[in-house]
A and B are shown apart, each in its own frame.
Chain A
Amino acid sequence: MSEPDKSLFDLLAQRGVSRRGFLKFCATTASMLGLPPSMSSAVAEALTQAARRPSVIWLSFQECTGCTESLTRAYSPTIESLIFDAISLDYHHTLQAASGDAAEEARAQAMKANYGSYLLLVDGSIPLGEGGAYSTIAGHTNLSMLKEVAEGAAAVVSIGTCAAFGGLPMANPNPTGAVSVKDIVQDKPVMNVPGCPPIPNVIVGVVAHFLTFGALPELDALGRPKVFYGDTIHDRCYRRPFYDRGLFAKTFDDEGARNGWCLYELGCKGPTTYNACATLKWNGGTSFPIQSGHGCLGCSEPKFWDGGGFYTALSTPIQPVTGAAVTAALAGAAVGAAVAFGNQSTKGKAKAAHTKVTIDDLEKA
Chain B
Amino acid sequence: MSASFERGMAAFREVMDSPIASFFSSCVHCGLCAEACLFYTETGDPKYTPIHKLDPLKRVWQQEYTLLGRLGALVGLSKPVTEKELEQWSELVYDSCTLCGRCSMVCPVGNDIAYMVRKMREGMSAAGVAPEGMIGATQRAVTLGSPMGVKLPALQAQIRAQEAETGLSIPMDVQGADYMVLLSSMEVMNFPEYIGALGKIFRQAGVSWTLSSKAFEATNSGIQIGASDIAAELVQRIVDAAEGLGVKTVISPECGHAFTAIRWEGPNLIGRPYRFEVKHILEVLEELRQAGRLRTQGCDERPLTFHDPCQIARRGGVIEQPRNLLKSVASDFREMEEHGAMNWCCGGGGGVSANDRAEELRLVAFKRKKGQVEALGVDTLVTACANCRIILEEGLEHYNMDVEVVGLTELVAEHLIEDDK
Contact = CB atoms under 8 A, between A and B. Distances in A.
Interface of A: 335, 339, 342-343, 346-347, 349-351, 353-354, 356-359, 361-365
Interface in B210-245: 225, 227-230
Contacts of A339: 66-67
A342 B125 CA distance: 26
In order of increasing CB-CB distance, the 10 nearest A-B pairs are A364-B128, A350-B13, A350-B14, A357-B229, A350-B10, A359-B139, A362-B135, A364-B4, A356-B229, A365-B4
A365 B130 contact: no
A361 B7 contact: yes
Contacts of A350: 10-14
Given A362-B139, A365-B2, A365-B3, A357 B13 contact: no
Q: Say what secondary structure dominates the interface of chain B.
A: helix
A346 B4 contact: no
7 contacts: A349-B13, A357-B227, A358-B229, A359-B230, A364-B127, A364-B129, A365-B4
A346 B13 contact: yes
Contacts of B128: 361-365
Contacts of B225: 362
B264 interface: no
B139 A347 contact: no
Given A357-B227, A361-B4, A364-B2, A346 B126 contact: no
Nearest to A342: B70
Given A359-B142, A362-B128, A363-B135, 15 more contacts: A343-B64, A346-B13, A346-B65, A347-B14, A350-B12, A351-B14, A354-B11, A357-B126, A359-B143, A359-B230, A361-B7, A361-B126, A362-B139, A364-B4, A365-B3
B252 interface: no
B150 interface: no
Contacts of A359: 135, 138-139, 142-143, 230
A343 to B, nearest CB: 5
Interface string B247-287: 00000000000000000000000000000000000000000
A362 B125 contact: yes
Contacts of B64: 343, 346
Contact of B65 (A343, A358, A361, A363): A343
B361 interface: no
B170 interface: no
A357 B67 contact: no
B3 A357 contact: no
B17 to A, nearest CB: 9
B412 to A, nearest CB: 38
B137 to A, nearest CB: 10
Interface of B: 2-4, 7, 10-14, 16, 64-67, 70, 125-130, 135, 138-139, 142-143, 225, 227-230
Contacts of A365: 2-4, 128
A335 B130 CA distance: 38
A322 to B, nearest CB: 25
Contacts of A347: 13-14, 16
Contacts of B65: 343, 346
B230 A358 contact: yes
A350 B7 CA distance: 9
B230 A354 contact: no
Contacts of B143: 359
A255 B297 CA distance: 79
B395 to A, nearest CB: 28
Nearest to B139: A359
Contacts of A358: 229-230
Nearest to A356: B229
A349 to B, nearest CB: 8
Nearest to B3: A365
Nearest to A343: B65
Contacts of B130: 362
A354 B10 contact: yes
B245 to A, nearest CB: 27
Contact of A353 (B10, B67, B229): B10
Contacts of B229: 356-358
Contacts of B4: 361, 364-365
B71 to A, nearest CB: 11
Contact of A362 (B2, B16, B138, B228): B138
Contacts of A353: 10
A357 B135 contact: no
Nearest to A335: B67
Contacts of B138: 359, 362
Contacts of B14: 347, 350-351, 354
B301 to A, nearest CB: 49
Nearest to A357: B229
B58 to A, nearest CB: 16
B281 to A, nearest CB: 29
Contacts of A342: 70
Contacts of A335: 67
Contacts of B139: 359, 362
Nearest to B6: A353
A111 B65 CA distance: 75
B135 to A, nearest CB: 5
Nearest to A355: B7
B226 to A, nearest CB: 10
A338 B299 CA distance: 66
Contact of B125 (A346, A354, A356, A357): A357
B78 to A, nearest CB: 16
A364 B11 CA distance: 15
A361 B222 CA distance: 12
A320 B143 CA distance: 70
A349 B64 CA distance: 12
Contacts of B230: 357-359
A356 B227 CA distance: 10
A364 B1 CA distance: 11
A180 to B, nearest CB: 44
Contacts of A361: 4, 7, 126, 128, 227
Nearest to B66: A339
Contacts of A364: 2, 4, 127-129
Contacts of B127: 364
Contacts of B142: 359
User: Which of A349, A356, A357, A362 has the largest number of chain B CB atoms within 10 A?
Assistant: A362
Nearest to A353: B10
A85 B11 CA distance: 92
A358 B229 CA distance: 7
A133 to B, nearest CB: 52
A284 to B, nearest CB: 61
Contacts of B125: 357, 362
A353 B139 CA distance: 23
Nearest to B9: A350
Contacts of A346: 13, 64-65
A363 B230 CA distance: 14
Contacts of A351: 14
A124 to B, nearest CB: 52
Contacts of A362: 125, 128, 130, 135, 138-139, 225, 227
